[in-house]
Amino acid sequence: MARAALDSVGLPGAGEWTEWTGFAFHVRRRLTEDEGSRVGPVIDVRGTQEGHRRQQSVMRWLPADWELEV
């Protein structure tokens, strides 16, 4: 289902990877040049104020004993 949802997006030939977390199966792939121009440059927000803000915005959906990797 995940691959079918990605049929019209990204560039699988430019880089695609999968991950099973024990909870969810992820399929990730590189954006096309057009997609990238619409969302801007990719940046790593881990450990930044922006990353903390994003983390706090999803905390209400996580189990009370959930531990996030930092």
Q: Residue ranges of the domains in the chain?
A: 2-61
Which ranges constitute the DSSP H helices of 1-70? 2-5, 33-39, 49-58
Three-state SS for 8? coil
CB count in 10 Å sphere of residue 29: 17
Q: Which among 1, 27, 3 is positioned nearest to 15, based on CA atoms?
A: 27
C-alpha 53/C-alpha 25 separation (Å) is 25
- The pLDDT-based confidence of 7 (bands split at 50, 70, 90) is confident
pLDDT, tens digit, for every residue of 39-69? 888 888 989 999 999 988 988 888 888 776 6
pLDDT, tens digit, for every residue of 17-26? 899 989 888 8
pLDDT at residue 16 greater than cutoff 70: yes
Query: Whole-model pTM?
Result: 0.50
pLDDT at residue 15 greater than cutoff 90: no
